[in-house]
Structure formats: structure tokens, C-alpha cells
Amino acid sequence: MKKFTFIIALLALLSSSCTQTPPPKPHGPLPEARQLAWHEMEYYAFVHFSMNTFTDIEWGYGDKDPKLFNPPELDCKQWVKVFKDAGMKGVILTAKHHDGFCLWPSKYTDYSVKASPWRNGKGDLLRELSDACKEAGLKFGVYLSPWDRNHKDYGKPEYITYFRNQLRELLTNYGDIFEVWFDGANGGDGYYGGAREVRKIDRKTYYDWPNTYKLVYELQPNAILFSDAGPGCRWCGNEEGWVRPTNWSLLKRDDFYPGVSCDREFLRAGQEDGTHWVPAEVDVSIRPGWFYHKSEDHKVKTLPHLLDIYYHSVGRNGNLLLNFPVDQRGLIHEKDVEQVMKLANVLKQDFANNLAKGKKFTATNTRGNSSKYSIDNVNDNNKETYWATDDNVTSASITIDLGTETEVNRFLSQEYIALGQRVQKFTLEAMVNNSWKEIASETTIGYKRILRFPTVKTSQLRFNITHSKACPLISNIEIYNAPMVLNAPVIRRNQANEVSLSGADDNVTIYYTIDGTTPSAQSKLYSQPFTLSGKATVKAICIDTKTGKKGEVTSEEFDISRANWKIKGREQETKTFDGNPNTSWRKTGKKFPLDVVIDLGQTTTLKGFTYLPEQNRWSSGIVFKYQFFTSTNGRNWKQVSKGEFSNIKNSPIWQKKLFSPTKARYVKFKALSTTDDRTAIGIAEFDILTK
């Protein structure tokens, strides 16, 4: 062919491929523009701060004196600086939690900062935080609890007017609101203007949600509405910080509503055949509780735990909403700042150097052989371009040639979700010793999927999409070699007072102390369980002696020995005291109350008790309302504590109750109700406090 004709032919081919390749059609439910913007936020802060901060509880009853609310050093600029330094894009504040106390001077109630001594009753926390956010360029969102244990009209239609009036205040007075959070906890006992009674509502109909949502959209058209049912984004079905590896941004939305009692798997994994785009948001606290408790200062999540949370949320097509329980001073506690900054720094390192940059990508199919849908689009740092296959192709492979043998341990991929979530199954292979070795076999991708795997040295990676609902559309692929972060050891003590330390990575050593000092490579080397009875503090650390690299210190405090404790009538059953949270003991009955009597073997001065409910997936007998009694002889009982384990259903963590010191040998733990109404008491661990 003559040079001239060749050029003409080439131009014709190029122009025909551009003009003739039709774009992929949308598939299934699609995200709205505001949802697309929300996906890109990925990681932002939650703040739980209110009356509960001062009363040291998780759920207020609605009857506490507003005068208790008085943070002496409150500084929203400090909060916002922490969020910004940590790489977060926004913050959502508990404007009103279940106790009804308002952090802004609402016109519609006196139960607010107006009646508190803070800033002489002239304060407005919503104003201060929204201003600080504006200044720092962070987005601002609000949590407004539908359940209000203070309001006299709760349960009646009048309350809905009140609720909407409050929404209107929040959504008109504080600038742009990126998300409105509607909690699912709804109805139960409360102060209710002095009535002190139980009020039940119909969760589906009481709030007239469709009209409430309408109001939000009228006032803040870009806001994302969070609830168990969306419609903007959905709860992830747990408060531990994860979604399932299979995570569809789709939900049969009309089957859900805030507070729905449903199989939580739907929330954790989404629904492949969902009818609407309702992506998951993972809400989790940096400490065990949502609100600040001094007793949790040493329980701020470790770096490896926070990293797991990140990779199990953002890495699995979910946004991460990380909670900070602001303390009684009105500041984010130093420990929380330290931990979130460790997380931020490691994430920065993990994603510092994209090894795919500038490398050669090839694909087994490209839509219409068109440059518009070229495989290079996954590596061009432009989220608007994507690689696509022909319509009839729903499985295809992408090979990435790294040029030289390279160590890799992260693989990040993103679908072009504006046209729907499609990929159902994929694998990742690495070329090792001249043959392909499978390193991952997974399911969904969605907005973003990040795989973590043991470091592999390879010159080529192959990403195989094996099943897709329609032709796959991939907008981005990145590859990293993240530095290793050592695990934090797990410390356990069994009933025989043997302490075991576990969880170290391969070739890593555990060192520990029992005198309260920080462990180092000069401390005792752990080789096997050791005996330590009575009150004790154990601290342990993993150290890679070859590199000198250190992990995080774990610390556990043990109270008196449980060696001689027995459950009355079921003396042989010891799972409640075995130090293992994954085993549990259960008692069932015909009706409440149900109780368990424990013989401590000797008389001691008790100051409180702690209870860990069953931890397994099918847990039952999670006690909600309880009474607690002590006795010196097992016959005459004295009630020393009574109440509820607030939020235990969603967050089945250690529950701690203190009471006035009392001498006793026997304790009786009485369940008056459980979260699932099954007549059972399920206990993973039980302990008493004498300190």
C-alpha cells in the first residue's frame, strides 16, 4: 500500500472506531450525582458529644439537668484540625442523641445548650463546628435522633412536627449539609416530659419517612440521607467497622426502613438484585463506646485494628465514618489523636508509590477496539475515563507488566459506577517462576476495592474478571507494596490463671511486662503461657528482632482470680470464666426474669461487674434490662445495681456497671429482657470489679 493510502485508511479506521463504537448502556440501578460525590469522600469523622459525655453513659434517659453540660475547653478548631490532619473529608455531629438534649439553641425546646452554663447559655455547638469546617474546607453533616426520650409528645403525631421543626433549623441555619443521619434505635422507655413510661411506635409509619426525606431534599438537595434503608446510604449492619468482601451498593430499598428488624446480612453485603443504589457506610468508634468514658482511655483501638477497619470498609466498597468520643473538656483526647494519626501516616505510606504508574497494561478485549475505551484509561489518573469490553463480553483479563521483578501486596481497582455496579467475580494472579499463581479470588468491586495479600515478588499481574452482570467498566487500577505493620498481641487469662499471649506475625517475638511498665526488647520474652493470679496488669508488644521494628503495646488489667468461681447448679460449666470471648454459656427459660447465681468462693468487697454478651454470629440472650444482687450467704440478697445495657444490640461490647462497695461472696445477675426477646441469658465472659 502506498504511504498516502495507508494514512487515509488509518484515519478512516480511527474515526470509524471513535464514531461507531457506541458507549456502554447503563446497567441496573444507578447512583445519583449526590451519591457519586459522596462515594468520593471515602473517609470522614463522626463526633458523639452531648449530655452523655458528662454522665458517663451511652444512652441518656432524657431526664438529666442541662446544667451538667459544661465543657470548659471546648474547641471545634482542635477537632477539625485532627480530622484534616488525618486526611478526612468531613464530620457528622450528634446534634441530638436519644436523650433529646440539643447542641444548638433550638427554638422548640428548652432542653438544650441554652439551659446549660456552657458559654453562659449563649453557645451553639452547631455554629462553632460548621464555622470551623468551613474555614478548614471540610464538609459538615448532622445526626438527629428520631427517638427522643425527653420530649413529652414522643409517640404522638405532635412530635413529628417538633422533629421536622428541628430538622428545618439544622438544615437552614448552618450552611451546606452533606449528610443527615437517622438512627434506627427507636422507642422504649424514657422520661418523656416526666411521664417516665414505655412508648412504642410503629417504626415504619410513625415518622412518615417519605415526607421527612422530602423536607430534607427541599432544604439541602445535595444531602445524603443515612438510615438502615438509605435512601442515600445504608447502615452496614454492625458497629465493628466492616462490610462483607462481597458488597453490592444495591438494595431492595422498599423492603427497608429506619430501625427495620431484618437479616443484617442484607445490610452487610447489599443485594445483588437490589432495586436502588444504596451504598454502605461503615460507622465505628475509635474506642469501644460512642461517647467518652475515662475508663476507656486505654482501650483506644490499636493501629492494626484501625487498619483492618479501613481495609474492611474503604477497601470493600464502603465509606468509613470513624467516631471520636469528644471528652469532658470538649476536646478530642490525646490518645485518640495519637491513634488516628498513626492510621493516617500508615495509609499515606501504604499508598505512596503506585507501582502500576507508567507500566504497560494489556487487555483481552477492548470495546470496539476503540481508543476511547482503551485499557490505558485504567492508568491515566482520570476518573472519568474507563476501559470497557464489547457488550457480549462479560469476562476478560487485564495484564500488567511491571517490567522487573517487584514486591507487591496491595491491588486497588475501581469500577466506573456511574453506569452501574457490574463485576460479580474476579481473580488476581501473579507470575511467579514463570507460571501464573492465583493470589486472590474475590467477588465485587464497586466504587473501590483494595486487596491486601502477603507480599509477592513478580514481574506481571493478571486481573481476570470472570463474571460480570454486563460488560465490565474499570476506571482505575493501582498497585502498591505497603510496609509491614506488626500485629498487637492478644492477652488472655484463663480460669486457672494462665496468661497466654498470641497474635504475633511469623518470625516476630512477643515481649511483656507485669509491672505496668512499657514492654521493650529488654523485657521478658514470651515463649509459653505463664501463671499470674490476682489483680495484675499485663502489657505486651511484638518486636521483629531482625529489623528492630516494633508493634503496638496491648495492655490488659485483670481483677481478682476467678479460679474458684462456680455457677450455682451448673458447677461444671466454665466458659463464662475461661477468658475466651469466643466461647459462651447460655441459660434458657420460659419467661423473664431469668437469673444466674455465681459463687465467688470467698467474700470480697465488690465495686462493680462487667459482662460480655455472646460474640458469635448467632448470639442470643443478649441481656438488655438487668438487676444485680449480692449476698454474703447465697440466701439474703441485696440489689446493688439495676438498669439497661444501652446500645448492646448493635454494639455487644464489654458492659461495665459500678455500684457502692459491698462485701459479698455470691452475686446474682438477673435478666429482665433481652435484645431479641428470647428468654435466655447468654454470657461470653463475666467478671467483677474490686478496684
Looking at the Cβ atoms of 366 and 647, the one nearer to ligand FUL is 647
The stretch among 178-186, 297-305, 312-320, 545-553 that binds ligand FUL (CB under 6 A) is 178-186
C-alpha cell at 86: 488525618
Q: Which of 99, 124, 148, 183 binds ligand FUL (CB under 6 A)?
A: 183
In what helix (H) or strand (E) does residue 662 lie, and over which residues does it extend? strand 655-671
- Site residues for ligand FUL, window 81-100 (CB under 6 A)? none
The stretch among 149-157, 181-189, 244-252, 272-280 that binds ligand FUL (CB under 6 A) is 181-189
Q: Are 446 and 248 in contact (CB under 8 A)?
A: yes
Rounded to an integer, what distance in angstroms lies between the CA atom of residue 143 and that of residue 171?
Answer: 11
Looking at the Cβ atoms of 71 and 289, the one nearer to ligand FUL is 289
What are the helix (H) ranges across 209-279? 209-219, 265-269
CA distances from 257 to 185, 206, 210 (A): 12, 11, 10
Looking at the Cβ atoms of 207 and 426, the one nearer to ligand FUL is 207
Is residue 350 close enough to count as binding ligand FUL by CB under 6 A? no
Is residue 512 close enough to count as binding ligand FUL by CB under 6 A? no
290-329 footprint of ligand FUL as x/- string (CB under 6 A): x---------------------------------------
The stretch among 166-174, 180-188, 327-335, 503-511 that binds ligand FUL (CB under 6 A) is 180-188
Q: Are 101 and 60 in contact (CB under 8 A)?
A: yes
Looking at the Cβ atoms of 345 and 650, the one nearer to ligand FUL is 650
Report the nearest approach of ligand FUL to the CB of residue 117 (Å): 25
Looking at the Cβ atoms of 402 and 623, the one nearer to ligand FUL is 623
What are the helix (H) ranges across 102-187? 125-136, 157-173
Is residue 257 close enough to count as binding ligand FUL by CB under 6 A? no
- Site residues for ligand FUL, window 276-295 (CB under 6 A)? 283, 290
Number of residues that bind ligand FUL (CB under 6 A): 9
Is residue 240 close enough to count as binding ligand FUL by CB under 6 A? no
Helix (H, G, I), strand (E, B) or coil at 227: strand
Looking at the Cβ atoms of 283 and 336, the one nearer to ligand FUL is 283
* Residue 233, φ and ψ in degrees, nearest 5: -145, 160
Which residues, including other chains, have CB under 8 Å from residue 173's CB and lie 6 or more apart? Answer: 104, 126, 127
Pairing of strands 139-144, 179-181: parallel
Is residue 624 close enough to count as binding ligand FUL by CB under 6 A? no
Measured from each CB, the residue nearest to ligand FUL is 185
CA distances from 99 to 140, 554, 643 (A): 22, 34, 15
Cell 471520636, residue located: 324
Q: Are 99 and 143 in contact (CB under 8 A)?
A: no
Is residue 440 close enough to count as binding ligand FUL by CB under 6 A? no
Rounded to an integer, what distance in angstroms lies between the CA atom of residue 309 and that of residue 452?
Answer: 13
Looking at the Cβ atoms of 184 and 579, the one nearer to ligand FUL is 184
Q: How many CB atoms lie within 10 A of CB 456?
A: 17
Rounded to an integer, what distance in angstroms lies between the CA atom of residue 369 and that of residue 363?
Answer: 11
C-alpha cell at 311: 481495609
DSSP state of 26: P
Report the nearest approach of ligand FUL to the CB of residue 656 (Å): 16
Report the nearest approach of ligand FUL to the CB of residue 14 (Å): 54
- Site residues for ligand FUL, window 8-67 (CB under 6 A)? 58-59
The stretch among 183-191, 327-335, 387-395, 430-438 that binds ligand FUL (CB under 6 A) is 183-191
Cell 471546648, residue located: 74
Is residue 647 close enough to count as binding ligand FUL by CB under 6 A? yes
- Site residues for ligand FUL, window 115-174 (CB under 6 A)? none
CA distances from 40 to 160, 295, 500, 547, 551 (A): 33, 36, 43, 37, 31
Sign of the torsion formed by the C-alpha atoms of 266, 268, 270 and 271? negative
Is residue 226 close enough to count as binding ligand FUL by CB under 6 A? no
Is residue 650 close enough to count as binding ligand FUL by CB under 6 A? yes
* Residue 371, φ and ψ in degrees, nearest 5: -65, -25
- Site residues for ligand FUL, window 56-75 (CB under 6 A)? 58-59
Report the nearest approach of ligand FUL to the CB of residue 113 (Å): 19
Is residue 179 close enough to count as binding ligand FUL by CB under 6 A? no
- Site residues for ligand FUL, window 185-204 (CB under 6 A)? 185
Q: Which residues bind ligand FUL (CB under 6 A)?
A: 58-59, 183-185, 283, 290, 647, 650
